[in-house]
Amino acid sequence: MNQRIYWSQIAERIALPVLRHLSARTLRCNMPVETTGNAAELRKSALLEALGRLLAGLAPWLELEEPATLPLASLAREAIDAITDPGSPDFGNFTEGGQPVVDTAFLAQGLLRAPKVLWGPLENRVKRNVLAALRASRVIRPYPCNWLLFSGMVETALYAFGAPDWDRMRIDYALRQHEQWYKGGGIYGDGAAFHADYYNSFVIQPMLIDIIRHVGGEEDWKALEPAIWTRAKRHAAILERLISPEGTYPPIGRSLSYRFGAMQGLAQMALLHALPEPLEPAQVREALSAVIRRSIEAPGTFDAEGWLRIGFCGHQPEVGESYINTGSLYLCSVGMLPLGLPATDPFWTAPALPWTSVRAWSGAPLPADHCIQT
């Protein structure tokens, strides 16, 4: 099967339960909240988690306005209305506890990744509700780690959508602290400490890129932009080398139930035509396709109603930390960002190429790998 068609079928399968129920304002009643944590507490944020994370990955595809995506885009706009309308039974939690700042940021990231489709057509009433929801999340003080980028992403969306009260300090603090936390070799600390996990890909590198793409023209942050891009490219190269010939990658660190969302850093560089040399789009397509297929086709990944279930490969509830619930799992969608490239793009049309580990373990010529000094 054509790989782009396969990816689009998987994306639609993942998205439809969330978008259909939320657009009908029945998500709260129908979405299960599987968790090993406090279900009553996690249920408060599960709806916003599901939509924010889903749209962060789906947005570039929707932005293409292809015939296949038009119904999904319509559902997505209705879902945005439902989650931000204070009178909706599915009104999201934007203020209570710490979690809402995380998923308000993912929602903001999704809007920024598809402004023509997910922001522009919204009624003024809905736009006002969205901006109010973004502002409401400011009551949450982020932890001194990757969470600073959630506050920064919210403010970046306010900036991009013309809100006069966007807060320069929240963006500045997020960018400059991560500059202080950079460890070298294309890897940031998650806070002051290094963490051996995939949070450089789940959050840090992609949000740094999306923030700087929108605010980099501001004089305060122009000097930071080149290094952010250089590091993101190196990080993408590392991710590509982690994908084994079998389409697996090491199950290291927390939040493994985000599945192939762990490859967001690589997927984003492919989407933005910013892959580092010597990576070719076709080898990245093959590598990501292998990971997605290996993950999504594992028995038990979906329940009988089509909802994602907790697991790294199939249904493994014990891998879910206490903060993980059904809504959390939709961050897997960010591993499919290249769907935002049209069918005519070389990412999809170029003949298949083996990715680095395939070449390495088959004895084929293998380019040397190099660290970066930036």
Residue-wise pLDDT for 112-162, tens only, equals 999 999 999 999 999 999 999 999 999 999 999 999 999 999 999 999 999
> pLDDT by residue (tens digit) across 222-243?
999 999 999 999 999 999 999 9
Q: Which residue in 104, 125, 1, 127 sits closest to 51, CA to CA? A: 104
User: What are the backbone dihedrals phi and psi of residue 188, each rounded to the nearest 5 degrees, phi first?
Assistant: -100, 150
The counts of H helices and E strands in the chain are 15, 2
Q: Residue 343 in 3-state DSSP?
A: coil
Which residues does 177 contact at the CB level (< 8 Å), separation at least 6? 144, 148
Tell me how far CA of residue 166 lies from CA of 9, 47, 56, 222, 322, in angstroms: 38, 26, 21, 18, 33
Distance CA 206, CA 146 (A): 11
39-43, 324-328, 342-346: least confident range: 39-43
Q: What is the DSSP string of 274-287?
A: -PPTT--HHHHHHH
Is the pLDDT assigned to residue 1 strictly greater than 80? Answer: no
Q: How confident is the model at residue 372 (pLDDT cuts 50, 70, 90)?
A: very high
In contact, 293 and 247? CB cutoff 8 Å: yes
For 256-279, write each residue's pLDDT tens digit: 999 999 999 999 999 999 999 999
Give the model confidence (pLDDT) of 192-217 as tens digits.
999 999 999 999 999 999 999 999 99
- Contact at 8 Å (CB) between 245 and 361? yes
* pLDDT band, residue 373 (cuts 50/70/90): confident
**Confidence (pLDDT) at 35:** 96
**Residue 69 β-bridge partners:** none
Mean pLDDT of 69-94: 98
pLDDT confidence band for 336 (50 / 70 / 90):
very high
pLDDT at residue 307 greater than cutoff 80: yes
Neighbouring residues of 210: CB distance < 8 A, sequence distance ≥ 6: 109, 112, 113, 153, 156
Could you report the per-residue pLDDT of 35-44, keeping only the tens digit for each?
A: 999 999 999 9
Quick one: pLDDT at residue 367? 85
Query: Residue 185 has what pLDDT?
Result: 96
CA-to-CA dists, residue 13 to 301, 304, 308, 330, angstroms: 12, 12, 10, 11
Q: Considering the chain, what is the average pLDDT of its residues?
A: 97
pLDDT above 90 as % of the chain: 99
Q: What domains appear along the chain, each with residue ranges and CATH number?
A: 3-359 (1.50.10.20)
Q: What's the CA gap between 75 and 72, in Å, rounded? A: 5
Element (H, E) at 265: helix 264-271
Q: What is the DSSP letter of 201?
A: I
* pLDDT at 14 > cutoff 80: yes
Q: Which of 359, 308, 354 is nearest to 17 (CA)?
A: 308
Is the separation of the CB atoms in 21 and 50 below 8 Å? no
